[in-house]
Amino acid sequence: MTENLLKKIAKSQLDSDFYCGLEKADRELENELDRICITDDLKRAVMSGGKRMRPNLAYTAYRLGSSDTEIVPLMVMVELMHSASLIHDDVVDKAGIRRNVPTINATSGDYRAVQSADYLLSRAMEYLHVYKGSGIDERLAEVSLRMCRGEFLEIREAFRISEDAEEKYFELIRHKTAIFIGACAACGGIAGGLPAEYVKSLEDYGTYLGIAFQIRDDCLDFEGETVFGKKIGQDLDSGLCTLPLIYAMKAEPLLYSLLKTRNPNGSLSQKDREYVIKIVCRYGINDCRRLIEEYSTRAVETIKDIPDSPAKDALILMAEGLKNRKK
Amino acid sequence: MEKLSKEFIHEEMDKRLGEGYSLWAEFLKDSAPEEYRYIGADAVMEGYDGRHTLDLASACQCFFWFRFLHEQTDDKDLLLGDYFFSRFSHWLIPIDSTPLIDAFSVYLKDDAQGTFNGRAFDAAELENFFRQVGIVLDD
């Protein structure tokens, strides 16, 4: 009990430092956005918040090795990269709302959304020189390539229910989500001057965290009410074979038959759609929850050799918090 | 150092960008326009002849496809454009030149703002940029 309380206090100290850093990062971003003519759209998209998981992770990993808060460039860079990729995702998914605000493609059209995201990439490039020679830039470039490969893999697999669907799902979420989160943790560690073995542990930690995060995200697609403007069953409509669906198909063969015979790009009838969501909620979610716990636990185990510190406690709490993530 | 031949550079471009061209054929059901296939590489060779020729040529060619594909609004063009941007970074970063990165960053910032406000993609302008960008390298 006492130990837990101490952890929370340590985290709250780190949180207050973190938000200072994040505020600095936000201010820097806002100043830049003020000077350009695509301000309104971009400000809305970038400054509307979100979980800021990636810069948070980079910062916390950095604090494992360094006592100062001079990590703003990396935080801004990863947030810009992430925001650009979300804007592009919204164009591809034809999404109208994200983080409860209208998307750029919804207000200004696809073309302007694409150019806005490219602008953010140009801004991210400005920070590359800060980490020259550290290996951080190369890591982030490699990750962005693998994320692109993940996007193509997702298109290839859409509306297909293959025998090795579970294996493909994990390959996909590693590429699309997890390795970037792993890279944020690793890059924070590098910037903080941690030894190579700890950087590797942080990379694994972030990757496991990213896997757990994505599985949770995929569960949220089926559960409850509309969350942050995201419609229930959106992944299902896009033909994505996510883990809750895979587990539900294993438990209920009828579901497998229904989806296997679905036309490519064909939408489900309202009745079938409701049936699928009901079966997934009944049979798919619990197994996923178990797996989220498993990956969160695995994430914590990977950093067990890193010396204890408030920053390490914060990483542990971050992983544990995923088990109850609601948004 | 012996000057690299155009033929060698073209062959290398085809190898280095091979995955991108396969994705192009698979997802866009077409091939990359022949007239632009070496536009970045050839422009670099006109303005720069040094130890980074091959990497700079690769970076420029990828940057060209990135901007070219983002002129289109189809989702697969967009994703392939992103792919070429990541390849551009892959070859740009090892050159290890802050002025070079800054030059691309400034160009992209200006170009993205211009196209956001309705300016059309201009292959000749980009070609001209590639011709000049090698000057910032001090080898």
Using alpha carbons, list the distances in angstroms from residue A236 to A160, A171, A173, A241: 12, 19, 16, 7
What is chain B's mean pLDDT, rounded? 93
Q: Does position A137 have pLDDT exceeding 60, yes or no?
A: yes
Residue of B nearest to A156 (CA): B27
**To the nearest whole angstrom, how far is the Cα of A110 from the nearest Cα of chain B?**
6
- Give the per-residue pLDDT at A231: 73
- Give the per-residue pLDDT at A13: 61
Residue range A20-32: mean pLDDT, rounded: 70
Contact yes or no for A21/A75 (Cβ under 8 A): yes
- Confirm or reject contact between A121 and chain B (CB < 8 A): yes
- Structural domain of B67: 6-136
CB atoms near residue A167 (< 10 Å)? 10
- Confirm or reject contact between A35 and chain B (CB < 8 A): no
Report the length, in residues, of chain B. Answer: 139
B interface mutation test: which of A86, A104, A107, A115 has the most B CBs within 10 A?
A: A115
pLDDT > 90: what percent of chain B? 83
Domains in chain B, number: 1
Query: What is d(CA B46, CA A257) in angstroms, rounded to the nearest whole number?
Result: 60
Q: Which of A139-143, A263-267, B40-44 has the lowest mean pLDDT?
A: A263-267
At residue A33 the predicted structure's pLDDT band, cuts being 50, 70 and 90, is low
Query: What is d(CA A109, CA A94) in angstroms, rounded to the nearest whole number?
Result: 10
- Give the per-residue pLDDT at A302: 98
Using alpha carbons, list the distances in angstroms from residue B82 to A81, A110, A173: 11, 15, 18
The residues in B 87-126 lying below 8 A from A, measured between CB atoms, are 87, 89-90, 93-94, 96, 98, 101-102, 104-106, 108-109, 111-113, 115-117
Q: Does position A47 have pLDDT exceeding 50, yes or no?
A: yes
Contact B112 A151 (CB under 8 A): no
Q: Does position A64 have pLDDT exceeding 60, yes or no?
A: yes
Match 């669907």 to its residue by tokens. A165
Burial profile B81-115: b = 16 or more Cβ within 10 angstroms, e = fewer? bbbbbbbbbbbbbeeebeebbebbbebbbebbbbb
**A280: Cα within 13 Å, side-chain hemisphere:** 26
Q: Which of A17-26, A213-222, A258-267, B110-119 has the lowest mean pLDDT?
A: A17-26
Chain centroid to CA B132:
13
pLDDT > 90: what percent of chain A? 51
Report the length, in residues, of chain A. Answer: 327
Q: Does position A192 have pLDDT exceeding 70, yes or no?
A: yes
CA dihedral A141, A142, A144, A145 (to 10 degrees): 120
- State ipTM: 0.93
Residue of B nearest to A147 (CA): B83
Contact yes or no for A230/A237 (Cβ under 8 A): no
Q: Does position A53 have pLDDT exceeding 60, yes or no?
A: yes
Q: Is the residue at B91 inside a domain?
A: yes
Contact A88 B78 (CB under 8 A): yes
Q: Is the residue at B109 inside a domain?
A: yes
Residue range A126-147: mean pLDDT, rounded: 93
Q: Is the residue at B1 inside a domain?
A: no
- Give the per-residue pLDDT at A115: 92
Q: Does position A9 have pLDDT exceeding 60, yes or no?
A: no
**A193: Cα within 13 Å, side-chain hemisphere:** 5
Q: Which of A73-82, A91-100, A245-254 has the lowest mean pLDDT?
A: A91-100
Q: Residue A46: which of A74, A87, A18 has the closest Cα?
A: A87
pLDDT > 70: what percent of chain A? 84
DSSP state of A70: -
Q: Does position A143 have pLDDT exceeding 90, yes or no?
A: yes
Contact yes or no for B89/B100 (Cβ under 8 A): no
Contact yes or no for A178/A214 (Cβ under 8 A): yes
Contact A91 B75 (CB under 8 A): yes
- Confirm or reject contact between B132 and chain A (CB < 8 A): no
For the segment B49-58, what is each residue's pLDDT rounded down to a tens digit? 899 999 999 9
Contact yes or no for A303/A206 (Cβ under 8 A): no
Q: Residue A174: which of A200, A154, A201 has the closest Cα?
A: A154
- Give the per-residue pLDDT at B128: 97
Contact A145 B83 (CB under 8 A): yes
Q: Is the residue at B23 inside a domain?
A: yes
Residue range A182-187: mean pLDDT, rounded: 98
In order of their start, the domains of chain A are 2-215+300-320 (1.10.600.10)
For the segment A293-324, what is each residue's pLDDT rounded down to a tens digit? 999 999 999 999 999 998 999 999 999 988 77
Q: Does position A21 have pLDDT exceeding 80, yes or no?
A: no
